[in-house]
Chains A and B, each alone.
Chain A
Amino acid sequence: TQLLEQSPQFLSIQEGENLTVYCNSSSVFSSLQWYRQEPGEGPVLLVTVVTGGEVKKLKRLTFQFGDARKDSSLHITAAQPGDTGLYLCAGTPLGGAQKLVFGQGTRLTINP
């Protein structure tokens, strides 16, 4: 079983602080996506990373794919209450065809 271990599962911080969410596996992934999901809604794609060592930025969010393509991180700078939500990492294992493997999610709360 190819697992993605996401941490932390819960994070509550004050507005303006920085945070990092981690997604780790012992398996190699062809690509990895980060999604954000609001309650009762579908996951919304934030980014896809495909190249080992790749770094992508989306405003205050920075995404990194590990050199060995086994791990990824999401860093948020100067968090805002609007960043509150469930963050999911999901990846396609090498040779895993169309099956996405999901992490358990990080429930992030930014307090004003």
Chain B
Amino acid sequence: DTEVTQTPKHLVMGMTNKKSLKCEQHMGHRAMYWYKQKAKKPPELMFVYSYEKLSINESVPSRFSPECPNSSLLNLHLHALQPEDSALYLCASSPQQGGGRDTQYFGPGTRLTVL
């Protein structure tokens, strides 16, 4: 099973709303990632969790708040977003094999629209 699941698939929210994106994997992977992808661009890394600890934050605004409750789950809490935050949000996971030979597996994404 090489599946990463994400919910919801689509989300529309106002700028004053609070919402959360969820990601789950059952491959025993120990690294999980959040990416943001705008139309016609490659994914941009936002956060990396390694062994349930935040290891990389790519200077993401504080209106995005990640959380890793356990090794299988990853959340992204959203608050006071701006219309320019509308994008496809992708979750990924990898085994964390070390030596730079990790392969990341992506979920189907959440299409977020901020009104």
List A residues at the B interface (Cβ < 8 Å). Answer: 29-31, 33, 35, 40-45, 48, 50, 88, 90, 92-100, 102-105
In the complex, which residues of chain A have a beta carbon less than 8 angstroms from the beta carbon of B4? 42
- CB pair A100–B88 under 8 Å, yes or no, is no
In the complex, which residues of chain B have a beta carbon less than 8 angstroms from the beta carbon of A99? 45, 48, 56
CA distance A41 to B89 in the complex (A): 10
- CB pair B100–A105 under 8 Å, yes or no, is no
List B residues at the A interface (Cβ < 8 Å). Answer: 2, 4, 6, 31, 33, 41-43, 45, 48, 50, 55-56, 88, 90, 92, 94, 96, 99-109, 111
Query: Of the candidates A42, A90, A98, A103, which one forms a contact with B90 in the assembled complex, judged by CB atoms under 8 Å apart?
Result: A42
**5 more CB-based (< 8 A) A-B contacts, given A31-B101, A43-B43, A98-B48:** A43-B90, A43-B106, A98-B50, A98-B55, A102-B42
In the complex, which residues of chain B have a beta carbon less than 8 angstroms from the beta carbon of A95? 100
Query: Of the candidates B31, B105, B107, B109, which one forms a contact with A98 in the assembled complex, judged by CB atoms under 8 Å apart?
Result: B31
- CB pair A103–B55 under 8 Å, yes or no, is no
